[in-house]
Structure 1
Amino acid sequence: MSRPPFPTPSDAEIAVVSAQLGREARGVVGIAARCVCGNPTVVATAPRLTDGSPFPTFYYLTHPAAAAAMSTLEAEHVMPELAEMLDDEDVAAAYLAAHESFLDDRRQYGDVPEIDGISSGGMPTRVKCLHALAGHALAAGPGVNPIGDAALARASWSPERCACVDPGAARGNGAG
Structure 2
Amino acid sequence: MIEARDTAAVAAQLGREPRGVRRVASRCPCGLPAVIETAPRLPDGTPFPTLFYLTCPKAASAIGTLEGGGVMRDMQDRLAADPSLSAGYTAAHEDYLRRRGAAAREDGVEPLPEGTQSAGGMPERVKCLHALVAHELAVPGINPFGREALDALPEWWRSGPCVAVDPDDAEPEVDR
Give the TM-score category using the shorter length. 0.7 to 0.9
- In structure 2, what residue type is equivalent to 1:80? R
Change (3 A) 1:163 1:131: farther
Q: Is the 8 A contact 2:57 2:162 kept in 1?
A: no
Tell me how far 1:78 sits from its aligned partner: 1.5
Tell me how far 1:46 sits from its aligned partner: 0.5
Q: Show structure 2 runs of 5+ residues with no match.
A: 105-109
Tell me how far 1:115 sits from its aligned partner: 6.0
Aligned to 1:172: 167
Count of matched residue positions in the alignment of Structure 1 and Structure 2: 165
RMSD value over aligned CA atoms?
2.0
Deviations 1:111-148 (A, max 9, x none): 4334645210000111011110010011101x210011
Change (3 A) 1:118 1:164: same
Change (3 A) 1:69 1:96: same
Residues of 1 paired with 2:146 and 2:48: CA distance?
20
Aligned to 1:50: 43
Runs (4 or more) in structure 1 with deviation over 6 Å come to: none
Q: Show structure 1 runs of 5+ residues with no match.
A: 1-7
Q: In the alignment, is residue 83 of structure 1 matched against residue 83 of structure 2?
A: no
Q: Radius of gyration: which is bigger?
A: 2
Change (3 A) 1:107 1:75: same
For normalisation by structure 1, the TM-score amounts to 0.84
Deviations 1:81-132 (A, max 9, x none): 1212212111111111111111111112214334645210000111011110
